[in-house]
Amino acid sequence: MTIVGAFLGKQIRTGGHVRYLELMEGLGRRGNRVLVLMNALLGYEAAAFRELAREVPYRRKSFPPASWVFWAEAGRRAGEIGAAAGRPDAVLVFGETHLAAGARLARALGAPLVYGHRSNAVRESLTYLEEAGHGRAERARIRAGLWKSRLDEARIARLGDLLVFQSAYDRDDFLGRNPAAAGRCAVIRGDISGPRFKPEYARANASSALRRVCFMGTQGPRKGIDYLVDAIVELKRRGLGELRFRLCGPGERREELEARLAAGGAAGMAELLGRVPNPFEEIVAADLLVVPSLFDSYPNTVLEALHAGTPVIGSAVGGIPDMLASEELLFPPMDAAAIADRIERCVREPAFYARLRELCAARRGEFDFDWAEAWEKEIRERLKPS
């Protein structure tokens, strides 16, 4: 097949960005002809696909939005892409920021649009509205974001010829609001076979007791770090001050979160590390990974922990129940006491901790498959390229 893509960001900021580039590399390695419109400011060097790299300057969270800039660039470069790729079998993009650019390329090249749905932004906003403590201005901001996300969903449902979700939950939630897309949806879960999941980290964790806990995610509200900080304070109150937490991930709230820990008498229990160069090293060194997300479609950190053999527990939201399956590995979202309960039980009951290790080990095989092959199969079966 011939597949055209677009990645016009100038940074690899999210797990979705990493996975998109991994997918296009994987499709190229499988013998497909893959051409991706890239931002030369990213400095990415493709190994298995062809790049059409052009400088595309923009500023995040400013006017004009990046999605508009990307749409315009797709229009400018459609002729070059057509000359290089001919009429492709599919145009494949991830995420709302590249939706308009992908749709423009698909129309110009006469190809179907394959859209990778990476984040259930509508459900995320609805979750924030359920959370206590938001003032009137903040709730108005969340409602504005919800309105935009609903418009984005309507455009996705209208423009996409094949919509690929990470979990049945996200697919069904989307279809509940956009039923007309029912015949164009597929589910492809994440995998642990990509290049990031290196053999040296496979089942590398051999913890027999819980002493060190890891968090891997941004410091914003979505990943639920506030509830984990409150759980740490609660564990200190319960006499488990010997536990150590390494909170990894970017953000600008370090001083605020450290102050909350100090106010609860738990300053010595946690270290906020910011972005770490190799998440796998932190995950392998931990005895438990906690994923306290308020909402998450399919967090890569869960896959990374399963690959490493590190026990992982997470909020029962979004795609996390699909990933972990067992109730023993899940806790209610926005519930610091529930997080503290699960960690305390792991410390005080070695048999329970061993049970969690077994449950996680049993899930690992569900994600050991060729991800690019799964995408290729769906495209061939659903779109029937020539």
pLDDT digits over 37-76, tens only? 999 999 999 999 999 999 999 998 889 999 999 999 999 9
User: Do 92 and 183 belong together in one domain?
Assistant: yes
- The domain total for the chain is 2
Residue 336: pLDDT over 90: yes
User: Do 212 and 273 belong together in one domain?
Assistant: yes
195 pLDDT band, cuts 50/70/90, is confident
Strands (E), 102-236: 113-116, 162-165, 185-187, 212-216
Q: What is the mean pLDDT of residues 127-154?
A: 88
User: Do 210 and 176 belong together in one domain?
Assistant: no
Q: What is the mean pLDDT of residues 258-273?
A: 96
Q: pLDDT tens across 145-184, in order? A: 899 999 999 999 999 999 999 999 999 999 999 999 999 9
Per-residue model confidence (pLDDT) at position 373: 97
Per-residue model confidence (pLDDT) at position 124: 86
Nearest to 52 by CA among 39, 67, 69, 43: 39
Per-residue model confidence (pLDDT) at position 384: 84
Per-residue model confidence (pLDDT) at position 269: 97
User: Do 135 and 235 belong together in one domain?
Assistant: no
Q: CATH number, domain at 270?
A: 3.40.50.2000
Domain that holds residue 27: 2-191+369-383
φ/ψ of residue 195, rounded to 5: -65, -25
User: Do 120 and 255 belong together in one domain?
Assistant: no
220 pLDDT band, cuts 50/70/90, is confident
Per-residue model confidence (pLDDT) at position 334: 93
Nearest to 331 by CA among 228, 191, 229, 257: 228
Per-residue model confidence (pLDDT) at position 130: 84
- Inter-CA distances, 106 with 19, 114, 182, 269, Å: 21, 9, 21, 52
User: Do 219 and 171 belong together in one domain?
Assistant: no
Residues in the chain: 386
What pTM did the predictor assign? 0.90
User: Do 233 and 162 belong together in one domain?
Assistant: no
Distance of alpha carbon 240 from alpha carbon 346, whole angstroms = 12
User: Do 357 and 272 belong together in one domain?
Assistant: yes
User: Do 125 and 24 belong together in one domain?
Assistant: yes
Residue 386: pLDDT over 70: no
Q: What is the mean pLDDT of residues 95-108?
A: 97
Per-residue model confidence (pLDDT) at position 222: 87
Q: Exposed, middle or buried by CB within 10 Å (0-12, 13-18, 19+), for 370?
A: middle
Residue 132: pLDDT over 80: no
Q: What is the mean pLDDT of residues 321-334?
A: 95
